[in-house]
Amino acid sequence: MATLAEPKPLAARQAASAGRLSIMTIFGTRPEAVKMAPVVQRLRASPEFVPIVVTTGQHREMLDQVTRLFGITPDVDLDIMRPEQSLVDITTRALAGLHRVLDELRPEMVLVQGDAHTTFIGALAAYYHRIPVGHIEAGLRTYDRYQPFPEEMNRRMTSALAEVQFAPTARAKRNLVGEGIPEESIFVTGNTAIDALQAVQRLPDVPAVAGIPPLGGRRLLLATTHRRENWGEPLREIYLALRDLLDRYPDVLLVFSVHPNPAVRRVVHEILHEHPRAHLIEPPEYAAWVRLMQQAYLILTDSGGIQEEATALGRPALVLRRVTERPEGIEAGTVALVGTDRSNIVREAGRLLTDPAAYQAMAQAHNPFGDGRASERIVQALRFYFRRSDNRPEEFAG
């Protein structure tokens, strides 16, 4: 399958780097990789900067899919993932590994993205080395310290450590300003998720996902779950609700992308495995996943990033959480919060399956999260920060 750009070995880039500033991008999970990839590509193409790509390897298989797709060969791969890793495992292994890497490579700046553990630990390790940190997708908040867990605190701690904040939206900037972050350090860029989405939509040859029968006029429900605060009973409720929907609506086909986390895997297989219209698949390649979202009648998810993608694609999404750090999708009307209560999920999804007006009202594409130019603005902002340009980038207006 086509990839989006050719990688270059680190040695070649170092050679080409005379007079250029080295910017280390650190990521570890799939969503970080998807959203960092457009920035790495822009840095590569810029005359002022040289990207050094470091991955903690927090997500082994899912990360490798993305770096392959975007043609990014990590310069350093710490390969920290272990089966059933705890938060402490990720913290200690990533911190020790990144400490060594930063000691050796001494970049001019470290960029981290989002709210995963790698994000926070990458920022912390850079801070210990007094290397400035730029945080991409800064300022998203629920102001509930346990939801999402541990991502809300990962974000807040990263904001405190970062010197440059790339806020995706005006609301995210307001959150940061409200917390006392200096306004001049905040750049409203849009979300690089939309840059990545647009890039894969342009790919010509995306193979279909294996294991899914032809829809043949049936409606596709696409589902994912992985949030730590949903482990246990909430996940059971969600899967039972999905089974109820299949039983109630015979023209519905469920495709469930099963996160490799064993805490998710065991329960989803137990409850949905036997249903003839439930198709449990391995997480598809990102480009194929985008194609599937485009075909979906309805998406049910507890993910953060899918709220952005569904809104941009105009695919109605029910969010299986009580709070979201991305209210822009709800305001746009494409996304609704339904929590994890079985009967509530069945009622809300049922309404969208039976009421065409309610469905049409949600099935509209909006772009509150970005316009596909976030990575361009981030690189412009870096030029401004390093005094290679006098101009701040114009802000993403939403």
Q: Which residues are catalytic?
A: 115, 137, 151, 226, 228, 259
Burial environment of residue 69 by CB neighbours within 10 A (0 to 12, 13 to 18, 19 or more): buried
| C-beta of 44 vs 117, nearer to ligand UD1 | 117
Nearer to ligand UD1, 224 or 311 (CB): 224
Shortest approach of ligand UD1 to residue 385 CB, angstroms? 27
Is 298 within 8 Å of 316 (Cβ atoms)? yes
Q: Which is nearer to ligand UD1, 62 or 223 (CB)?
A: 62
Q: How far is the CB of 364 from ligand UD1 (least distance, A)?
A: 26
Residue 334 is given by DSSP the state S
Helical ranges in 106-261 per DSSP H:
117-128, 151-161, 170-178, 192-201, 233-248
What whole-number distance in Å separates Cα of residue 44 and Cα of residue 7? 10
Q: Which residues bind ligand UD1 (CB under 6 A)?
A: 29-31, 58-62, 83-85, 87, 90, 115-117, 150-151, 226, 260-262
Could you give the angle at which helices 192-201 and 374-385 cross, rounded to 10 degrees? 140
Residue ranges of the alpha helices (H) in 190-296?
A: 192-201, 233-248, 262-272, 286-295
* Cα–Cα separations (whole angstroms), residue 326 to 93, 110, 118, 279: 30, 25, 21, 29
* Minimum CB distance to ligand UD1, residue 19 (Å): 36
Identify any residues that bridge with 279 across adjacent strands, giving them in sequence order. Answer: 255
Q: How far is CA 354 from CA 340, 344, 358, in A?
A: 21, 15, 9
**Side-chain half-sphere CA neighbours of 3 within 13 A:** 15
Q: Which residues make beta-bridge pairs with 111?
A: 25, 134
**Identity of the residue, 231 or 359, whose beta carbon is nearer to ligand UD1 in the bound complex:** 231
Q: Which is nearer to ligand UD1, 55 or 58 (CB)?
A: 58
Helix (H) or strand (E) holding 95: helix 87-105
Q: Please, how many CA atoms are within 13 Å of residue 174, restricted to the half-sphere of its CB?
A: 3
Q: How far is the CB of 91 from ligand UD1 (least distance, A)?
A: 9
Q: Which is nearer to ligand UD1, 43 or 126 (CB)?
A: 126
- Closest approach, Cβ 357 to ligand UD1, in A, equals 34
CB of 215 vs ligand UD1, minimal distance in Å: 26
Report the nearest approach of ligand UD1 to the CB of residue 66 (Å).
10
Bridge partner list, 109? 23
Tell me which DSSP letter residue 220 carries: E
Q: What angle do CA 2, 314, 311 make, to 5 degrees?
A: 85
Closer residue to ligand UD1 in complex, CB, 62/271 = 62
